Amino acid sequence: MSNIRVTALYKFVRFDDPEALREPLFERLSALGIKGTILLASEGVNGTIAGAPEAMDKALVTLCALPGCASLEWKDSHAEAMPFLRLKVRLKTEIVTMGVPGTDPTCLVGTYVKPENWNTLISDPDTVVIDTRNDYEVALGTFQGAIDPETETFREFPKWFENFRTELAKQGRTPKIAMFCTGGIRCEKSTSYVKSLGIDDVFHLQGGILKYLETVPKEESLWEGECFVFDDRVSVGHGLEVGDYQLCHACRHPVSAADRQHPHFEDGVSCPRCYGTFTDAKMAALRERQKQVRLAKARGETHIGDDVVMTPRKKVTA
């Protein structure tokens, strides 16, 4: 097993002064050699970090010691190499941005469903299953029969759901609503929002897709494809094994093995999705960057330009 432990974590909790937590948290995690990103906001904490197993144990003790975070939610997986280049602790307005003021999962949230009970719920014909992730994530994999809202950002989800709810009403339907996401955080917020609209039968997958892939045997699984993750692994499959996708540096969208065989794929420069959308000057800059990445690798170093935000650009621009 790899000696790098990767932990996705979050907790919705009220922080009176998140700014006061930032520097001490950064100093403690940095001293442990932890890398990754932690987001702090008045509504709680969210992030993915990585490090040696014993250092991660101490890091989680530190995080659980934050006010109200004794029951911090986290999911562990492993990587062959450190998936982050540095540690970032950032202050945000929301730890997961939906943009609906007043949405508070600490006060109102859907019913948690354990991974081992998820198949029964989503196999019920009276259940509508909704993938709350964004389009580029859904493209890699999802649960059988799940609805894809085709959103580019989580901010688009409330408007999509209002339209979806109107369509259900026109059809005279009042199904159970089952939602899922990567690690559970978006589901907590989306089910809180949906319940605030007066809908009672709302459920979400506890621990998210990652916990399901870790817990449910492949032969019993209703998951199809791979799961996008926001680090250098790009995707994982059953048992949280590292998947087959890589990231296009130009547009930051995941590219499959088939994409990498396409004539429009050039490592670090373009993929079938973004080919032809950049100026000659931009293409030259991307090729020069990729050259420096190769030279750094030959020297046994990591090129700092590899530290990209693991979220695809909303629009491909020059």
H-type helices in 4-108, by residue range?
18-31, 53-64
Q: Which one is catalytic: 69, 181, 248, 271? A: 181
Question: CA of 280: how far to CAs of 267, 275, 293, in Å?
Answer: 16, 12, 20
Q: Specify whether the CB–CB gap between 121 and 113 falls below 8 A.
A: yes
Q: Alpha-carbon distance 198 to 175, whole Å?
A: 13
Length of the chain: 318
Q: Specify whether the CB–CB gap between 174 and 168 falls below 8 A.
A: yes
Residue 227 is a catalytic residue:
no
Q: Alpha-carbon distance 203 to 126, whole Å?
A: 13
Cα 150 from chain centre: 16
- Count of other CB atoms within 10 angstroms of residue 139: 16
Closest listed residue to residue 182, CA positions, set 156, 158, 214: 214
Q: Is 97 exposed, middle or buried (0-12, 13-18, 19+ CB in 10 A)?
A: middle
Q: Alpha-carbon distance 101 to 244, whole Å?
A: 38
H-type helices in 99-184, by residue range?
115-123, 135-138, 157-170
Residues known to be catalytic: 181
